[in-house]
Structure 1
Amino acid sequence: MKRVLFLATVLLACAFPAHAQDATKKDAADKPAEPEMKVVLDSWNEIGRKLTAMAEDFPEDKYDFKATPAERSFAEQLLHAAGSTYYFTDTVMGRKLPEGDPKRDQYKTKADIVAFVKKSFADGAAAIQSQGEKGMMTEFVYFPHQKSRVLDIAYGIIEHSGEHYGQLVVYYRLAGLVPPESRSAK
């Protein structure tokens, strides 16, 4: 019994000073949250980077591959995801919204699609930056009779693009390929 009591005392004595030191270190290491614009812009650029990497990497002879006949091809998925960014960009910049997805026959080559994906995300990043930190809370009529903040519209498009990224991962796997983000770093 004395031995158990001794061990408990030693453990408690060792644990509390360490915990107190950890709490002090934690408090000293806390940084303020990053500005909203930076967080949104970083997320926007990250999904744009991932989709661009796929657009550049996927073999051009497989660009018209479809998981099933009823689905969009790999190229059409990219065009849809990149084209949807203009629902954000054009809203924020006060331009007329696009009418549907970009058509595959307008973007005939892999190079055309890669350029469109890059431009769409660059245009969106420029729109985010044009709003500045205070502009993240600016409201726009996004759908008829529905106001949304810049922040909310951007996150909606980021999520939408991420969903299509996930679909494109499936296209990679069905085509017997490994997506860029899933490859081991060398």
Structure 2
Amino acid sequence: MRFLIVFILLFASSLFVGAQNNDSLFIASALTKLENSKEYTLKVADLMPEHQYGFRPTKEEMSFGEQLLHICSNLGWLSSSYLSTGNNPVSKKDSNLQNKDSIRKVVVETYDYAIAVLTGFSATNLSDTVKFFAGPMSKLQIINLLSDHQTHHRGQLLVYLRLCGLTPPKYVGW
């Protein structure tokens, strides 16, 4: 009986340690993905000529520059509101930027902020639930949303590049 109790305790503790290792692996993977996303987004931003930052395929769509700022606004908002207690590095005044260099600066600052937040994020908090406008979400879901949102809007930017006769950079996302 004693052997059985020891076995169960060891087995249960190995599951707990395994789950912690998986959580830490998820954070490390998400961090690498975010770092690569920063570099790829900057390549996309750099490829578009400044005079095309106002390009929009239809009047209903955001311009190229607005798409970049939207990515940053969301990245900063999710990171500051749900993954940390910091302040969103993207301000309301940034939404009016038109200049390529100014927008690029916001991209760098926002990604650097989100990377710092994720670097300091404890894997033990992944299952914490937060109040989100669409309903309760875990912080793990917020990290996944952070990634999905960037990918969605950066995909639109790739189409914008093609419509302007430019070949997007080779994809890297992991």
Q: Please indicate the TM-score interval, normalised by the length of the shorter structure.
A: 0.7 to 0.9
**Match of residue 118, structure 1, among 101, 108, 118:** 108
How far apart in 2 are the matches of 1:43 and 1:102? 28
- Retained in 2: the 8 A contact 1:75–1:104? no
Instruction: Tell which has more relative contact order, 1 or 2 (C-alpha 8 A, sep 6+).
Output: 2
**Match of residue 178, structure 1, among 163, 167, 170:** 167
Q: Which residue of 1 aligns with 2:119?
A: 129
**Corresponding position: 1:60 with 2:64:** no
Q: Which residue of 1 aligns with 2:6?
A: none
SS at match of 1:181: coil
**Match of residue 133, structure 2, among 120, 136, 143:** 143
SS at match of 1:167: helix
Q: CA deviation at 1:78?
A: 0.5
Alpha-carbon spacing, 1:138–1:130, altered in 2? closer, same or farther (3 Å): farther
**Corresponding position: 1:71 with 2:40:** no
Q: Give the greater-gyration-radius structure (CA).
A: 1
**Corresponding position: 1:109 with 2:99:** yes
Q: Which residue of 2 aligns with 1:156?
A: 145
**Corresponding position: 1:90 with 2:90:** no
Q: CA deviation at 1:51?
A: 1.2
Greater than 3 Å deviation, 4+ residue runs = 95-104
Q: Which runs of 5+ in 1 are unaligned?
A: 1-31
How far apart in 2 are the matches of 1:46 and 1:103? 24
Letter matched to residue 171 of structure 1:
Y
- Retained in 2: the 8 A contact 1:66–1:74? yes
Q: Normalization by structure 2: what TM-score?
A: 0.74
How far apart in 1 are the matches of 2:114 and 2:132? 15
How far apart in 2 are the matches of 1:57 and 1:99? 23
Identity level (%) = 24
Give a deviation string over 1:75-98, Cα, whole Å, max 9, x none: 001000111102221122235779
How far apart in 2 are the matches of 1:81 and 1:63? 15
Q: CA deviation at 1:136?
A: 2.8
Alpha-carbon spacing, 1:102–1:67, altered in 2? closer, same or farther (3 Å): farther
How far apart in 2 are the matches of 1:161 and 1:180? 16
How far apart in 1 are the matches of 2:93 and 2:66? 8
- Equivalent residue pairs, number: 149
Q: Normalization by structure 1: what TM-score?
A: 0.70
Out of 80-89 and 169-178, give the one that drifted further: 80-89
